[in-house]
Amino acid sequence: MRCPYCSAMSEKVVDSREGKDGDVIRRRRECLQCHRRFTTYERIEEIHFMVVKKDGRREPFDRHKLMGGLTKAIQKRPVSVAQLEEIVDDIESRLAEKPDREISSTEVGELVMHRLHDLDEVAYVRFASVYRQFKDVNQFVEEVKSLLGPARRPKG
Ligand SMILES: [Zn+2]
C-alpha cells in the first residue's frame, strides 16, 4: 500500500474494523516513513459461481433452486435429503475447481442425472424429464425404455 502523502511503500495497520454490512473492511494505516495516517477500505469480493444457460445467458448458481428441483424428483422415493445435499456439494466442489467459476447448465444437469441414476431410477427419470425438457412423449418413453431395457447406457 502506497502512502498517499509521501508515496512510501511501508506502512502498518493500526486498526481494522468491519463495515456494518460485514462486506467492507476499514483499515487505519500508519506510514512508517512520514508517520501520517490514512484509511483504506477493502471490499470483500463475494464468490459467485455462474451457470451458463443454453442461450448463453448467465445466472448465479443457486444451491436452493437445485435442491428444490431435486427434492421434487425424489418425492416418495427412498432417497434422503442428505444424499441430495451430497450431490449438490459435489457440484459445488466441481465449480470451485473451475478457474472461471462457470459451469454450463447442461453440465450441471448431466452431473445431477449421473448421480441420481445411481441412487434411484425413478428420481432420475423425473429429474431428466424436467432437465432435458423432452420435446414429446416419445422421447420421454425412449428414455424410460433405455433404463428398463437391456441396452442400458454404460455408466461413466
Ligand atoms: Zn508517508
Give domain status of residue 18, yes or no: yes
Q: Which domain holds residue 121?
A: 50-148
How many structural domains does the chain have?
2
73, 140: one domain: yes
Q: What are 13-43's pLDDT values in tens digits?
A: 999 888 776 678 889 999 999 999 999 888 7
Distance, CA 43 to ligand 1 centroid (Å)?
Answer: 23
Rounded distance from Cα 150 to ligand 1 centre (Å): 77
Q: Is the pLDDT of residue 5 over 80?
A: yes
Tell me if 31 is assigned to some domain: yes
Q: Same structural domain for residues 37 and 95?
A: no
**What Cα–Cα distance (Å) separates residue 1 from each residue in 13, 25, 87, 132, 147?**
10, 15, 43, 51, 61
85 & 60 share domain: yes
Q: Which three cell numbers stand for residue 143?
A: 428414455
pLDDT tens digits for range 115-132: 888 899 888 888 887 776
**What are 46's strand-pairing partners?**
none
pLDDT, tens only, 46-98: 667 888 888 889 888 888 888 888 888 888 989 898 998 899 888 888 888 88
Q: Do residue 68 and residue 138 come from a single domain?
A: yes
- Ligand 1 geometric centre to CA of 28 (Å): 13
**Residues 34 and 93 grouped into a single domain:** no
| Cell, residue 69 | 428441483
